[in-house]
Each structure stands twice: as structure tokens, then as C-alpha cells.
Amino acid sequence: MSAISEVARPAGAEGRTGSASTARYVFVDVWRGLAIIGVVIYHLGWDLNFFGFIPASLMFSGPVTVFARALAGSFMFLAGVSLVLAHIRQARWEKFIWRLAKLVAAAVAISVVTYFLFPQGFIYFGVLHAIALASVLGLAFLRLPVGAVALASLAILVAPLLFETPAFDVRILAWIGFASDPPLANDFVPVFPWFGVTLAGIVCARIYLSRRQLRDARPPAARGAIVRGLTWVGQRTLPIYLLHQPILFAGFVAFTRLAAP
């Protein structure tokens, strides 16, 4: 399980003033903040299982699996929402490319590090990889009719249920999403069906902004300590993702060595 990156943050949204194209939508940051907190909790459970404090039957139970997929779905959905918000009036290519480059670099780093730590289950196409590709592919759908995007979303979501083949059971192809038995990975978010979730985010954001009073209104500022805190967290999901698991893992290593007889 992983977290969303800064490429999905609305470009030009550093302030809380201005038009809808330049101000942050608080609900996006709050949702993202809640999701990254969920990721930290999930990885805490993963570490507890890895170091033998809780059984695998608990960590990989049905409810926990649903929780992990809900987190991945949240980030993929928000990637689509934020693409629309970032390009609502005009493309901001410099910021998009810079954030995409950071995301790709982070995804590659995760693959390399997990390959050396967990060679049998390294992350070859996790949520960071999926968001990077979805952010690029999603650009082609921003100006299409909403109905067409919705149909594409549904088709991509359903396709893996209708078609799978052992021919895709190798890492070089499994990331597409049609593998019948994909190689083991600690985080796996293939294009099919997950890009369909990103397209659903594009559809919902475009429908939301289709009303002129919403599109041109100035988004309200974050109010309340909890909302402001979640907003702060939601604006820093990439560094939190990159740092939290090494910190947790190192803490467990230190604890188990100190507690050893």
C-alpha cells in the first residue's frame, strides 16, 4: 500500500485566495490527508505482522484487504479529481512535469529499495507507478465529453473481470492488469482496473465544476484545527509516504534488538 504524490495536487494552488483555478479545494487535501494517515496505519499493521507481533491471518484478513484497496482507490480517484482542478482553465505544463518527475523518481526509488529488501515481492508497479501513468494518460480524457469518459471508466473497471490470461503473468506485462496470476508484490496497482478509478475522478470533478457558480467561486479556506491539520498533512503526502515506513521499520528493528534476551 502506498500514497499519492504531489503530481495530483492542483497546479498553481499554493494560496487560498483567487479563482477556483488557483485556490486549493480543502476537501481534496482533507481526503488525501485521511488517506495517507490510513496508509501509515496499514503499514504499522504490516510491520507488526512482519516482526511477529500479530498473525498473518489478522493482517491479511478480508476487512484489512478492503481497507487497503479503499486507500488505493482514494488516491487513484483523487489523481483524476486533481488533474481536472489543475487544468480547469489552462494547462500548467512546467509544474505538472516537475511534479511528475518527482513522482517517477520516487516510484523508481521504491522499486529499487524494495528489490534489495524483498526481492521476491518487490514493488514493480505500485500506487506511485500507477498514479504517474494515470496522470499522463488522464490528460487525453480531460477535454472529451463527460459521457465518453464515464463509459471508458466503466470499460476499464470491468475489463479485468472479463479477460485474463497467463500470457500476462510476467512482470513486464502484469502491470497492465490482465494477468491470471501476477507475480508477488507488496504493492500492486495495475492499470486495469485502477485507471478506471482515476477516470471516475475526472468525471466527478467535471460534473461538480460544470455549474458556473462552483467553477468560478473562490473555494473556502480551511476552518477548524482538525481540518487545518488534515489539510497540512494532505499537502505533504509524498514525503510522508517516502519517510514513514523507513522510520517505522527502523523503530521495530531497534525495539526487537533491545527487547531480545
| pLDDT tens, residue by residue, 171-219 | 999 999 999 999 999 999 999 999 999 999 999 999 988 875 555 566 6
Alpha helices (H) along 185-260: 191-208, 212-216, 225-234, 237-259
- Contact residues for 221 (Cβ-Cβ < 8 A; gap 6+): 16, 26
pLDDT higher for 80 or 92?
80
- Contact residues for 191 (Cβ-Cβ < 8 A; gap 6+): 130, 133, 134, 156, 175, 176, 177
pLDDT higher for 222 or 194?
194
Does residue 14 carry a pLDDT above 50?
no
Q: Is the peptide bond before 10 cis (omega within 30 degrees of 0)?
A: no
Annotate 184-206 with b (16+ C-beta within 10 A) or e (fewer): ebbbbbbbbbbbbbbbbbbbbbb
What SS3 state is found at 107? helix
Does residue 92 carry a pLDDT above 90?
no
Kindly report which listed range (25-29, 60-64, 103-107, 133-137) carries the lowest average pLDDT score: 25-29
Query: pLDDT above 90 covers what percent of the chain?
Result: 77
Does residue 8 carry a pLDDT above 50?
no
Q: How far is CA 118 from CA 10, 68, 113, 179, 189, in A?
A: 34, 20, 8, 21, 18
Residue 17: band (very low, low, confident or very high) from pLDDT cuts 50, 70, 90: very low
| pLDDT tens, residue by residue, 98-117 | 999 999 999 999 999 999 99
What SS3 state is found at 210? coil
d(CA 127, CA 188): 7
